[in-house]
């Protein structure tokens, strides 16, 4: 018996024959799941418990809350499945690896081992890129996402700016498979996922692109992410950017200068302490109007520049 299943069975209502059906009562399963996750140090344990139960039952969080309030009961097999998923989450396996999905802006993306799980803060980076693409006067503006990973940014641009053409560039075979699957599921025919190193990407587009955006690996090699979900499960190639964290940023700058037309915009996600360094790097490379923008929590998250 796993630790999570033991915690479930420890509730007297789950062990008495008279109340065996209530072992699957949604409110009790939710309470026990939340407790297991909280004791494991999982952030937002109640939210994750609702999402895991919803994943098993095939419904959203709001429905789970309603079922808990009305005393609804799930099948015993479903309660056992929830316990198994809670055990995995308590071991700090990312929630998105367990459910196989990640929400990002308007998208519901397929994710799993081998691809960086898109974060809420990156939604703001995509939003800035979308705004820049919408501001283009071209009838069919072009955008390139360098290091697309799951395809989150590239596909958001394609879906939210349907008159644009968007390319997502990725050099990890595993991530490329996820991005290709997401492009197919999204049905964004104006998006193309390309398997190539970003330094060599898309020479046929040189001088024609309106927006280049990137969420590159930017963690310095000496820094270790605090969260086990990141440290143990995200691909290292998507996290670490060399001694100062900026090795890939330098390649992004060079490739973007080649791809962008005059007046085109570059947007780069980075750590909250890297804005000044990246502005200096871009200025030295000949970029204009460099600026750093905060995310929704007020932390410096994105640096922009004009070609």
Interval 20-64: pLDDT, tens: 444 689 999 999 999 999 999 999 999 999 999 999 999 999 999
Residue 98 forms part of a structural domain: no
**Do 278 and 195 belong to one domain?**
yes
Per-residue pLDDT at 296: 87
**Do 277 and 184 belong to one domain?**
yes
pLDDT for 90-127, tens place per residue?
A: 999 999 999 999 999 999 999 999 999 999 999 999 99
Q: Is the pLDDT of residue 212 over 70?
A: yes
Per-residue pLDDT at 44: 94
Q: What CATH number did the domain enclosing 194 receive?
A: 3.40.50.150
pTM for the predicted model, two decimal places: 0.86
CA distance 147 to 101: 20
**Do 149 and 280 belong to one domain?**
yes
**Do 22 and 80 belong to one domain?**
yes
**Do 146 and 216 belong to one domain?**
yes
Q: Which of 63, 91, 119 is the last residue of a domain?
A: 91
Q: Is the pLDDT of residue 76 over 80?
A: yes
Q: Which of 60, 91, 122 is the last residue of a domain?
A: 91
Domain membership of residue 77 as a residue range? 3-91
Per-residue pLDDT at 23: 61
**Do 231 and 133 belong to one domain?**
yes
Q: How confident is the model at residue 16 (pLDDT cuts 50, 70, 90)?
A: very low
Of 103-112, 137-146, 221-230, give the lowest mean pLDDT range: 221-230
User: Cβ-count burial of 106 within 10 angstroms (0-12 exposed, 13-18 middle, 19+ buried)?
Assistant: exposed
Per-residue pLDDT at 231: 80
Of 68-72, 137-141, 190-194, 235-239, give the lowest mean pLDDT range: 235-239
**Do 113 and 83 belong to one domain?**
no
Q: Is the pLDDT of residue 2 over 50?
A: no
Per-residue pLDDT at 12: 39
**Do 271 and 173 belong to one domain?**
yes
- The number of domains in the chain is 2
Residue 96 forms part of a structural domain: no
Mean pLDDT confidence for 216-226: 84
**Do 183 and 233 belong to one domain?**
yes
Per-residue pLDDT at 237: 82
Mean pLDDT across the chain:
91
Q: Which of 70, 91, 112 is the last residue of a domain?
A: 91
Residue 58 forms part of a structural domain: yes
**Do 57 and 135 belong to one domain?**
no
**Do 112 and 253 belong to one domain?**
yes
Q: Is the pLDDT of residue 294 over 70?
A: yes
**Do 138 and 267 belong to one domain?**
yes
Q: What percent of the chain has pLDDT over 90?
A: 81
Per-residue pLDDT at 19: 40
- Name the percent of the chain in helix, strand, coil, to the closest 5: 50, 20, 30
Per-residue pLDDT at 164: 98
Sheet of 260-269: strands edge to edge?
Answer: 191-195, 165-170, 142-146, 209-214, 260-269, 300-306, 288-294
């Amino acid at each position: 018996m796993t630790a999570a299943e033991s915690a479930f069975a420890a509730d007297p209502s789950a062990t008495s024959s008279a109340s065996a059906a209530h072992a699957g009562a949604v409110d009790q399963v939710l309470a026990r799941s939340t407790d297991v996750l909280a004791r494991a140090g999982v952030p937002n344990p109640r939210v994750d418990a609702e999402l895991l139960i919803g994943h098993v039952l095939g419904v959203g969080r709001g429905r789970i809350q309603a079922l808990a309030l009305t005393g609804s009961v799930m099948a015993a097999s479903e309660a056992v499945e929830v316990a198994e998923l809670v055990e995995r989450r308590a071991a700090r396996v990312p929630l998105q690896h367990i459910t196989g999905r990640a929400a990002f802006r308007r998208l519901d993306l397929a994710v799993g081992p081998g691809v960086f799980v898109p974060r809420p803060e990156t939604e703001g980076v995509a939003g800035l890129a979308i705004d820049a693409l919408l501001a283009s006067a071209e009838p069919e503006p072009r955008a390139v996402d360098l290091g697309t990973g799951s395809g989150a940014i590239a596909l958001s641009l394609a879906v939210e700016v349907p008159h644009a053409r968007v390319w997502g560039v990725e050099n990890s075979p595993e991530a490329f498979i996820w991005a290709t699957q997401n492009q197919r599921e999204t049905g964004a025919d104006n998006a193309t996922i390309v398997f190539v190193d970003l330094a060599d990407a898309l020479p046929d587009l040189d001088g024609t692109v309106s927006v280049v955006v990137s969420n590159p690996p930017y963690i310095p090699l000496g820094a270790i992410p605090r969260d086990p979900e990141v440290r143990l499960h995200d691909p290292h190639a998507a996290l670490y950017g060399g001694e100062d964290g900026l090795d890939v940023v330098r390649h992004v700058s060079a490739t973007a200068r080649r791809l962008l037309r005059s007046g085109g915009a570059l947007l780069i996600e980075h750590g909250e302490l890297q804005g000044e360094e990246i502005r200096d790097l871009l200025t030295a490379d000949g970029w204009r109007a460099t600026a750093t923008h905060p995310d929704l929590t007020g932390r410096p998250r994105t640096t922009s520049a004009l070609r």
